[in-house]
A and B are shown apart, each in its own frame.
Chain A
Amino acid sequence: MRLTINGEIKDNILARSLKELLDELGIISGRVAVEVNGQVIKKSDYEGFRLNDGDIVEIVSFVGGG
C-alpha cells in the first residue's frame, strides 16, 4: 500500500490499520496525534481505523516552543 506520511510518499506499507502503521514505524502512540485525510483520529480508534491506498497521514508530537 502507498501512503503519504508527513509529506513523504511511502510505498510497500504493510499495515492495514492505524495502530499497525504506528507499530510498523516504531512510534509510541501515547505521545502523538494522528490525522488521516485531514481528520484527527482518536487514540481509542487507532486499532479499528482501516487505512486505504493513497491516504494522507500526518503524525505529530510536541517539540520545544514558546
Chain B
Amino acid sequence: MEDKLIIKGIEFNSRLWVGTGKYKDFEETARAIEVSGADVVTVAVRRVNITDRKSENLLDFIDPKKYKILPNTAGCYTVEDALRYSRLAREAGVSDMIKLEVIGDEKTLFPDVIGLLEATAILAKEGFIVFPYTNDDPIMARRLADAGAAAVMPLAAPIGSGLGIRNPCNLKIILETINLPIIVDAGVGTASDVAIAMELGCDAVLLNTAIAGAKDPIAMAEAMKYGVLAGRLAYRAGRIPRKLYATASSPIEGML
C-alpha cells in the first residue's frame, strides 16, 4: 500500500531522516546513511577552510542527486543569525528547505521559541520550506503552523541526549491538533524510541547521535530503518486498546 510522505509537493522515500554529524569519517557517514535507507540528510553551514584546500568535502560522499540535503541553522542563538545561515544555505544548496534552529541555551540546546516563531514567519514569506525544531508544546506547534512552517519538528528529548520520547502525551496532542506533518527531531536513543514515535502517528523521525554515537553505527542505522518501518506499520494497523485485565486467546469451548 502506498504510504509516502509528501511535504509541499516533495515526495520522501523514507520516514527516517538522518544527520551527518559526529561520524568517525566521511566513509562511515556515507555507509550509515546508505544502510539507514534515509533520503533526507541534514548538514550544517560552516566556513570553508581557505588555507587547506585539499580537505575533503562532505558532498563528495553524500550525493545531492541521491539524497535531499536539508541544511540546518545549528549554533544560531538569534533570529538574525538564523536568517543569515538560512539564506547562505539556500545559495549553497539546491533547495529551499531549511531545518530552522534558534537555540535558547547552551546546556539544554532547547529552542528559543519566540525567536523561532519570528524567524519561521520571515523565512516562510521568503519562500523557504521551513522545518522548525521546536519543543513539544502544542500551542507553539500551532503558532509555527500559522506562521507558515512546512512541518513541525518537536523534540523527543534534548539534542544528543538519547532519552527517548519523554512526553508522548504532548506529541499526541500536537498530532491531533496540527494539520501539518509532525517530525520528531532530537533526543531518540535507539530503535524502540523511533518505533514509539511512529506508533504515535508521527510522520517521520530525524536523528543523528543515536546512530553516529552507537558502538556500531552501521548496525544501528539498519536498526533505525526497521524501527521506523515497524512503528509506521503498527500505527497504520491500529493497535489494540490497553486494558487492565486478561482476555484469553485460546477458546474455553472444547476443553476436557
Q: Which of A26, A31, A43 has the most CB of B within 10 A?
A: A31
Q: Are A62 and B22 in contact (CB under 8 A)?
A: no
Scan A1-43; emit 1 where CB is below 8 A from any B CB, else 0.
0000111100000000000000001110001111100001111
How many Å from the CB of B92 to the closest CB on chain A? 4
Q: Which residues of A contact B19 (CB under 8 A)?
A: 64-66
Query: In the assembled complex, how far is the CB of residue B60 from the closest CB belonging to chain A, in whole angstroms?
Result: 9
Set B20, B47, B53: member contacting A26, Cβ < 8 A: B53
How does the 8 Å CB contact mask read for B35-55 relative to A, with 1 for contact and 0 for none? 000000011111110110100
B138 interface residue (CB < 8 Å to A): no
Alpha-carbon gap, A6 to B49, bound state (A): 8
Cβ B45 vs Cβ A62 within 8 A: yes
Tell me which of A34, A35, A43, A61 has the highest count of chain B C-beta atoms within 10 A of its own C-beta. A61
Q: Which of B8-16, B69-77, B167-175, B238-246 contacts A (4 or more CB under 8 A)?
A: B69-77
Say yes or no: A35-B88 contact (C-beta < 8 A), given A25-B50, A64-B22. yes
Quick check: B43 and A62 within 8 Å, CB to CB? yes
Which residue of B has the minimal Cβ distance to A58?
A: B47
Q: Of all chain A residues, which has the CB nearest B18?
A: A66
Once A40-B87, A66-B159, A66-B209 are accepted as A-B contacts, the answer to whether A6 and B48 lie under 8 Å apart by CB is yes
B21: Cβ under 8 A from any A Cβ: yes
Instruction: Assess A66 versus B74: contact at CB under 8 Å? Given A6-B50, A33-B92, A60-B48.
Output: yes
Q: Are B88 and A33 in contact (CB under 8 A)?
A: yes
Query: In the complex where A25-B53, A63-B44 touch, is A40 in contact with B74 (Cβ < 8 A)?
Result: no
Q: Is the pair B53, A64 in contact by a Cβ cutoff of 8 Å?
A: no
Q: Please indicate the chain B residues that have their CB under 8 angstroms from the CB of A8 in the complex.
A: 50-51
**Residues on B with beta carbons closer than 8 Å to the beta carbon of A27:** 48, 50, 53
Residue of A nearest to B88 (CB): A33
Contact check, A64 vs B47: say whether CB atoms are below 8 A apart: no
Given contacts A8-B50, A35-B88, contact A65 B72 (CB under 8 A): yes
Closest Cβ of chain A to B40, distance in Å, is 12
Partner of B72, one of A7, A43, A59, A66: A66
Q: Are B21 and A66 in contact (CB under 8 A)?
A: yes
Q: Is the pair B43, A65 in contact by a Cβ cutoff of 8 Å?
A: yes
B-side residues, CB < 8 A to A, are: 19-23, 29, 42-48, 50-51, 53, 57-59, 69, 71-72, 74, 84, 87-93, 159-160, 186, 206-209
Apart from A5-B50, A61-B48, A62-B43, what are 6 other A-B pairs with CB-CB below 8 Å?
A34-B91, A58-B47, A64-B23, A64-B29, A65-B21, A65-B74
Write the residues of chain A forming the contact surface with B, with a CB cutoff of 8 angstroms: 5-8, 25-27, 31-35, 40-43, 58-66
